[in-house]
Structure 1
Amino acid sequence: MKKLILFAAISTLLSCDSATKEEKTKIKVGATMLSMQNEFIVNISDEMEKKADELGIELILVDAEHSPLKQIEQVESFISQKVDVIIMNPCEVEASSPGVTKALAAKIPIVNVNSATSTAPTAFVGSDDRESGRIAMKYIAEKLGGKGNVVMIHGFMGQAAQIQREEGAKEILKQYPDLKLIANQTAEWDRAKGMDLMQNWIQSYGTKINAVFAHNDEMGLGAVKALQAAGMKDKVVVVSIDAIQDGLQAVKNGSLDATVFQNAQQQGAGAIETALKLAKKEVVEKEVMIPFQLVTQSNISEFLK
């Protein structure tokens, strides 16, 4: 009986010791995300959590709430927690860059996901936002026969997606001299603000507006609502980016002419896979670029869940 008790006690000690070792060896990743109020960012975060669970990684995920200052503080917190890798979904190109600098100075690898900073991270996983701007504006140019007036709704000013989507769109506009950009302003990725801005433009320009390019679906759907209320939607082409579920449904029912699919699943999972390789000191690609795809009624069935 004593032998059995002793054996059980030793087994318990060994299993506790094993669990402690496992806790110590478990890779810890800290991730700071632009905003958990943004559906596309939530989609990326969900995929990160799913992949981290699958790979046995401890993921600490926090919301920067659109604040670069808060994001930098979160990076500092991750450094003090001695995480193995940091993932950052930057709030802004310039203002979030000190977070990258601090991580690298602490000798902690940092992966930017979805959005860029002026300071180069250890690795980047995302897409070339210029490409999405080119795809969207090319579609508008073709629908309008290369002639007409366009308004552009920006995301948060200073964020990589906003800067690059504008650049891509303007590359195409240069190729069509009869396609005029008559107004452009930010609606900060927000549906309600997109609707308010579109209402203001309808009052200012009325039927002069032939097309709307919104930097994301949320703002595009807001613009659609304003155009529908004014009885103008049938005469105005509206294109946006991200292909969130509401955006895809709007393409299916014809209220949104097109959206540009951005792959949240590949971005989120790719960021975690890259972080794991870095934690194991394996070689990683400096940039993992995931292509965008145009979504219209002709191929909507490929994207709707």
Structure 2
Amino acid sequence: MRRISSPFFSTALFISVLFTSCNQATTSEKSQTDGSKKLVVGVTMLSMQNEFIVNVHDEMVKKAQETGIELLTVDAERSALKQVEQVESFIAQKVDAIIMNPCEVEASSPAVAKALAAKIPIINVNSETRSKPSAFVGSDDVESARIAMRYIADKLGGIGNVVMIHGYMGQAAQLKREQGAREILKQYPNLKLIANQTAEWDRAKAMSLMENWIQSFGPKINAVFAHNDEMGLGAVKALTDAGLKDKIIVVSIDAIPDALQAVKKGTLDATVFQNAEQQGAKAIETAIKAAKGQAYDKETLIPFQLVTKDNLDKFLK
């Protein structure tokens, strides 16, 4: 996941939201003139300052336009409390379905219970809650970390020291990626986890954290596993500045464009592809079926894939 704060991105996001709003207004007028009822889906996203999450949402917008439904999108800004309030607002507006990209496993759970109590289907996308929603669309985050850590184990021959940079603590992706990484580490007793800490999905925070670890451990570090690409790229920058990158393996998750370019340059050893387009599209498809009372899959898991220089061309656009 990637945090973006550049003026270019802010402008692009504003234009995207403006375009979506205009498109929805046009669709609404069309539905009123032909007498058909248009489905309205409320969407609450973890953070619209996060590139991967924005990519998921962009695909939702595209699918909504194709299917003629209206999306009401709000940004939870990483606040589970705000997210619960947003879902309460959707319930009050009597939307036909809700799609939630949960901020936290526990703290976002009341939103699920409230939606189900109001008999409104709620679909979790990309991340999970303790409370079971109507459906889940995403990927198995445990497996993504297994893939990353297996790659590290193979490259090091099962011997060496690893540091792990966590995502936002308490979020499903952070919990499950830690779980998957530790499962693989248990299989390699000579592969030691010498440090692990959160950088909250953020490149700058990961860079600072990596700088601290370089001061503490220096060349003792053999590999870095970052829970997402943004943090992986922050670690790469710190290692490069310290003249250590050529000696240390860095692997992360998501396969965002910057990460793919880093793999191409050889600065990032590998990333694990997570399919934002399929997650967004499948979430909309599931919400439509649930709102219409049609049969739908209660769980849709989209596979992760390891990306290295060997298969990079398949993922570059």
* TM-score (norm. length: structure 2): 0.90
State the partner residue of 1:31. 43
- Is 2:94 the counterpart of 1:82? yes
> What is the correspondence of 1:17-166 to structure 2 with a 5 Å cutoff?
19-20=31-32, 22=34, 25-166=37-178
Structure 2 unaligned runs (5+)?
1-28
State the partner residue of 1:167. 179
> What is the correspondence of 1:175-186 to structure 2 with a 5 Å cutoff?
175-186=187-198
State the partner residue of 2:301. 289
3-state secondary structure, aligned to 2:87: helix
Structure 1: how far apart are the matches of 2:137 and 2:235?
30
State the partner residue of 2:292. 280
**Equivalent of 2:248 in 225, 232, 236:** 236
Task: Report the AA paired with residue 85 of structure 2.
Answer: E
Query: How far did residue 21 of structure 1 move?
Result: 6.4
1:27-77 deviations in whole A, cap 9, x for unaligned? 000000000111000000000000000000101111100000000010011
3-state secondary structure, aligned to 1:86: strand
**Equivalent of 2:274 in 242, 252, 262:** 262
Structure 2: how far apart are the matches of 1:143 and 1:45?
35
Query: How far did residue 26 of structure 1 move?
Result: 0.1
3-state secondary structure, aligned to 1:228: helix
Structure 2: how far apart are the matches of 1:281 and 1:76?
22
Structure 2: how far apart are the matches of 1:292 and 1:255?
21
Count of residue pairs brought into register by the alignment: 290
Structure 2: how far apart are the matches of 1:167 and 1:23?
51
Query: How far did residue 22 of structure 1 move?
Result: 5.0
> What is the correspondence of 1:6-17 to structure 2 with a 5 Å cutoff?
none
Structure 2: how far apart are the matches of 1:57 and 1:23?
14
The alpha-carbon distance between structure 1 residues 84 and 234, as it changes in their structure 2 partners (threshold 3 A), is same
3-state secondary structure, aligned to 2:123: strand
Structure with higher Rg: it is 1
Query: How far did residue 279 of structure 1 move?
Result: 1.1
CA-atom RMSD in angstroms = 1.4
Structure 1: how far apart are the matches of 2:34 and 2:151?
53
The alpha-carbon distance between structure 1 residues 22 and 33, as it changes in their structure 2 partners (threshold 3 A), is farther
State the partner residue of 2:16. none
Structure 1 unaligned runs (5+)?
1-16
1:87-115 deviations in whole A, cap 9, x for unaligned? 00000000000000110011100000000
Give % identity: 75
The alpha-carbon distance between structure 1 residues 23 and 151, as it changes in their structure 2 partners (threshold 3 A), is farther
The alpha-carbon distance between structure 1 residues 180 and 84, as it changes in their structure 2 partners (threshold 3 A), is same
3-state secondary structure, aligned to 1:259: strand
Query: How far did residue 288 of structure 1 move?
Result: 0.2
> What is the correspondence of 1:215-230 to structure 2 with a 5 Å cutoff?
215-230=227-242
Structure 1: how far apart are the matches of 2:163 and 2:71?
41
Task: Report the AA paired with residue 176 of structure 2.
Answer: Q
3-state secondary structure, aligned to 1:30: strand
Structure 2: how far apart are the matches of 1:231 and 1:196?
16
State the partner residue of 1:210. 222
Query: How far did residue 20 of structure 1 move?
Result: 2.6
Task: Report the AA paired with residue 225 of structure 1.
Answer: K
* TM-score (norm. length: structure 1): 0.93
Query: How far did residue 23 of structure 1 move?
Result: 6.8
Structure 1: how far apart are the matches of 2:67 and 2:115?
23
1:206-244 deviations in whole A, cap 9, x for unaligned? 110000000000000000000000000000000000000
3-state secondary structure, aligned to 2:98: strand
